[in-house]
Structure 1
């Protein structure tokens, strides 16, 4: 169990998922977690459902917590850090999950020596299957990194990387769930076009994506190997794959990751 007290500044779906996972896995006690939110109703809901302390004042979080998790929209970071500059000190570890905001940008708005770690999780943390990458700031230690790894391991897989890769992580796994949802919806649409009931088509599509992903992770095989294992000569699968190639499927996905990566870089400028 973590000995450090943890505070969330902003506690939307991502923050809520982390709170729940830490409490449910007994990584932390609810009494050692505090979260702030601008909405009183949201604070009340978090207190009732998880048992954590809540507040509408961000300075209460800084006063209570050893680890401060910035779980707010990127556009709000500057304003929040300006308000907390005198409240966040070297005793704190600041963990930012604000997409696109560089470590240097955060460090420059805090007192000298404050430890900062930038983290890029994704929304499947809500079901314990997040793909997360993090990078250490100038003053963050390996122990700090291990601590962050422990927290985010509670909701999925975690990778320690150089910060230069985090915009690409944002473009791939950060935005990736939306691409997958669109693919699932398209698979379902195809099933409906061919006469399947919508509810069954959607479940078949989602289960197909889930099963395929699990096979790749558990076998360690290259995606092309697994694809070829499904693709019989002159069969139905190669016919479908040919149509995807004709439509530029690969290029569309690659371009989506590139565009989201560039947008993440833009947010940090």
Structure 2
């Protein structure tokens, strides 16, 4: 198996590491870097190489997953540039295009951008990927990595900011709905623990209906609503309070924010 280095093992980097380990990667084939490695002790205990030295991790690996903050990206790439020949680079950095990455690295090597979400830790991520200078074999390799973490789609790089909003920020948006549903459940008599379980499993089931049947959400909604029924009454009240509009406006606000980083 190819050796993988995750440069900048923060929340997302650790989520990717957790997913890879859960999928069966040999810990000896994984390296993690971070300035404060004390928070990564569990990975050291598993046999993962944990270091503050980015160059050490890069030299030890064939695939480099860059998970640093946007403002640190240029300096980190310049730091490791001399060790990047014959490597595959995968950037998860928000707001830095694949063309900009190429300009900084200044090498003709395979470059990928990937936007997984934190559900990678439980192998349920939706990962969007774009690429340049890569072969079909290299694409298959990168796809196989992120397939271990959930679902993968390839998109044009200009859509990566939108993918960040819809898939990565989207986790938070979905969780906020679950929290609101829990609050409603408590209002109508459930304990918080039971309300959470019911709300979360219901959302999981709704998502699986769409993913497995390939149907439009409205067609599944139609199966639940009846004339003058309780479901349509609740839906209409939600829409009166701006439910769909607030979600759309939230997505657009996040998109505007990312475009102006």
Give SS of 1:85's match. Answer: helix
Q: CA, structure 1 residues 199+136, in 2 after alignment: closer, same or farther (shift >3 Å)?
A: same
In 1, the alpha carbon distance for the partners of 2:23 and 2:167 equals: 24
Give the structure-1-normalised TM-score.
0.91
Number of equivalenced pairs: 261
Q: Secondary structure at the match of 1:98?
A: coil
Deviations, residues 236-255 of structure 1 (Å, cap 9, x unaligned): 00000111111121111112
Q: 1:130 and 2:125 equivalent?
A: yes
Q: Is the 8 A contact 2:34 2:52 kept in 1?
A: yes
Classify the secondary structure of the residue corresponding to 2:260. helix
SS of structure 2 residue aligned to 1:232: coil
Look up the match of 2:116. Answer: 121
TM-score normalized by structure 2?
Answer: 0.94
> Segments of 4+ in structure 1 off by > 6 A?
none
Distance 2:97 2:168 in 1: 15
Contact 1:62 1:68 in 2 (8 A): yes
- Structure 1 gaps of 5+ residues are none
Aligned residue for 2:47? 51
> Out of 76, 92, 99, which is 1:104 matched to?
99
- Shift of residue 176 of structure 1? 0.4
Q: CA RMSD in A?
A: 1.6
For the 8 Å contact 2:37–2:52, the answer to whether it is kept is: yes
Mean Cα displacement is larger for which, 174-183 or 248-257? 248-257
Separation in 2, partners of 1:207, 1:228: 20
Contact (CA 8 Å) 1:5, 1:64: kept in 2 or not?
A: yes
Aligned equivalents of 1:133, 1:189: Cα separation in 2: 32
Corresponding residue to 1:95 among 90, 96, 117:
90
Cα displacement (A) at 1:210? 0.9
Residue 5 of structure 2 contacts residue 61 of structure 2 at CA under 8 Å; is this kept in 1?
A: yes
Which residue of the partner structure matches residue 84 of structure 1? 80
Cα distance in 1, alignment partners of residues 188 and 27 from structure 2: 50
Residues 161-180 of structure 1: pairs in structure 2 closer than 5 A: 161-180=155-174
- The DSSP-based 3-state class of the residue aligned with 1:169 is helix
CA distance in 1 between counterparts of 2:11 and 2:32 reads 12
Q: Does 1:36 align with 2:30?
A: no
Secondary structure of the residue aligned to 1:109 is helix
Q: CA deviation at 1:10?
A: 1.3
Q: Counterpart of 2:6?
A: 8
Give 1:69 shift.
0.5
User: Which runs of no fewer than 5 residues in structure 2 stay unpaired?
Assistant: none
How much does 1:233 deviate?
Answer: 0.7
1:199 counterpart residue number: 193
